[in-house]
Structure formats: structure tokens, C-alpha cells
Amino acid sequence: MGLWSPLDLLRSGHGQRVPRREGPVGGDDASRYDVGSDAYSRHENSADAKDVLERAIAACGAPQEVLSDNSLAFNQLRAGTIGSVEIFLASKGTMPISGLPGKPTTQGKNERSHQTLIRFLDADRPATLEHLRVRIQRFREHYNNRRPHQALEQATPRAAWDLLEHTPATEPIPLSVLEAKASEYRRAEFDAPIVVKH
């Protein structure tokens, strides 16, 4: 479980936000195993993101790193602060990292899996939040356990997850490490040259 990548929120065509944690190889970037997806009625926020992560870590163990996009629900370090998600992950020994701003290719695998989930949900648009949650669980069951994956030589994500050796997080990350990262981002932001666009 070296890297879960990436943590992201997607919006399906029917307007519901779907917090999604995908753990693609070994419960992480390689196996494409979806370690946790759910839907919430509120707009993007750290409490719901933390809820998904808590349940995923309880079920699968803590990875060494979690890669997220630059949403403040998941990653406040780039804004020079430390959020509840980062504190929670550090307490589990997991380093929160993020893709580079304006570089969506970092999250390419996840963006592709989002398309698959959105198509699945849009084929039978759930009318309620509970129905949406049932549909997401049905999708995860199929995606993880039945759907062959081309990048895995037609194996399922579950088969890849089970075959891979997992390297879990071992001890909590001191808050001082997160403080140093946040401070580094604040300095970079402060020292960055001002660009004027005409």
C-alpha cells in the first residue's frame, strides 16, 4: 500500500457530488482497486473526505501516501495551512501529497475511472441520495471484483490487490513535518514573482 491515488471529488450528470478514493496497485496506484467511494448531500468539504478515508483505511489499512487534487477539502497544505484531512492522514502514518496545480495528467488514471463511474450512474440516474449510494456500492462491487481491466492484463482490481505486496504506513507523521510543508508552500507563494497578464 505505497500510494493511493488520487483522492478526488467528482460530480455526476445528475448533480450529486461523489467523494471517491481510488486505490489503484496493492490497494493503491497499481491495482486500480477502489478502496472507497460514497456520496454526500453537502458540497465538497473536509468532513466528508475524512469520512471516506477513515472507512477506507479501516477496511484496507493505511497507505504510505495519498495523492489528491488541489481541492481544499483534501489538501490545505498548498494554501499554507494544515487541514483536518492532513492531520488525520498523518496520525495514521500517511503522507498527504497533491498533484501539481494545472497538471491534471497526474490524476489521469483516476479521471478515466471517474468517466466509467459517471457513465454507470447516468445510465440509471438515482432519484435519492440513498439510491445513489446503493448504485455506487454496486459499481464498486462490479469494478473491483468482476470487471477485467486492460492495464492489469484482464485481471480484476481485486485479483491485482490480492497478488500485490502491500507496504503499509508504519508510524504517525509528526505534525512538524506538515507544518514545514505548509510553511514551504507559503514561502513559495510569497516569493513567487507577480505575473501581469495583458
DSSP string, 107-156: GHHHHHHHHHHHHHHHHT--SSHHHHHHHHHHHHHHHHHT--BGGGTTB-
Full residue range of the structural domain in which residue 140 is found: 3-191
In a domain, 197, yes or no: no
Looking at the structure of the chain, the number of domains it has is 1
Residues above pLDDT 90, as percent of the chain? 17
In a domain, 111, yes or no: yes
pTM of the predicted structure, to 2 decimals: 0.81
In a domain, 32, yes or no: yes
In a domain, 80, yes or no: yes
In a domain, 196, yes or no: no
The 10 Å Cβ neighbour count of residue 9 is: 21
174-198 pLDDT per residue, tens: 999 999 988 888 777 666 543 334 3
